[in-house]
Amino acid sequence: MKRNICIDIDGTMTSPYFFIPYLNKLTGKNLGIEDYTSIDWNDTYGPEHSQMYKDFDHIHTDIYWENKLVEGAREVVNDLYDRGDRVYIVTARSSAIANVTNAWIDRQGINYTDIFSISGNGGKVAMAEKLACDCFIEDDPSNAINLDKAGYKVILMDATYNRNIEGDNITRVSSWEEVRELLL
């Protein structure tokens, strides 16, 4: 039976800690993984940099080209697609840089049905509904909670900023091999 699988990019297919060195450089801070306890950069780096966060996708677009897939992501996503599942990439990245996001995904050799750049996290439940999502692979705590409350199955990629998240429809994993075991 074909399923509709929605997958986030940053922190899910890529390392949840990829942005730390860049944000440290931009903010003059020296935070490590253990300090990254909130996905909200205002909490982690301080509200004095709030304009940088708002403009990040537009001004620092080049950083996205340097991001790498985490181990197993390509293989599991492609196996899902190859078995006939519809694979939807649903990212909070700005729609203004959708061309960069789409080209980056293509360069990674990821097979997918469609990509949606929704310019923020507020629309993930609406996208899950629109796409008749059977499972959403995500790292963002608020997205996981909202998807769970809306009745969607969530596979939550473990990160320091989402360790306190639980829900009836949430299954925590620490690798794409665990995703494979759940979905393939």
- Interval 86-119: pLDDT, tens: 999 999 999 999 999 999 999 999 999 999 999 8
SS3 of residue 91 by DSSP: strand
Of 10, 57, 139, 140, the catalytic one is 10
Q: What pLDDT shows up at residue 53?
A: 85
**Please, what's the b/e burial string for 98-110 (b: 16 or more CB within 10 A of its CB; e: otherwise)?**
bebbeebbeebeb
- The architecture (CATH level 2) of 4-15+69-183 comes to 3-Layer(aba) Sandwich (3.40)
User: Is the overall model pTM greater than 0.85, yes or no?
Assistant: yes
Report the pLDDT value the prediction gives residue 6, as an integer from 0 to 100. 99
Sole residue written with tokens 């390392």: 15
Q: Do the Cβ atoms of 27 and 159 come closer than 8 Å?
A: no
Per-residue pLDDT at 110: 99
Name 114's bridge partners: 88
Share the mean pLDDT of the chain: 97
* In the chain, domain spans: 4-15+69-183, 19-66
Coil vs helix vs strand at 44: helix
With 90 as the cut, is the pLDDT of residue 154 above it? yes
- Residue 121 scores a pLDDT above 90: no
Whole-angstrom Cα Rg for the chain: 16
- Are 135 and 5 in contact, with CB atoms under 8 Å apart? yes
Residue-wise pLDDT for 64-93, tens only, equals: 999 999 999 999 999 999 999 999 999 999
Q: Is 8 among the residues known to form the active site?
A: yes
Looking at 7-116, list the stretches that DSSP marks H as alpha helix, in order from N- to C-terminal side: 20-27, 41-45, 50-59, 62-66, 73-82, 98-107
Count other C-beta atoms under 10 Å from residue 43's C-beta: 12
Which of 8, 57, 139, 140 is the catalytic position? 8
10 classed as catalytic: yes
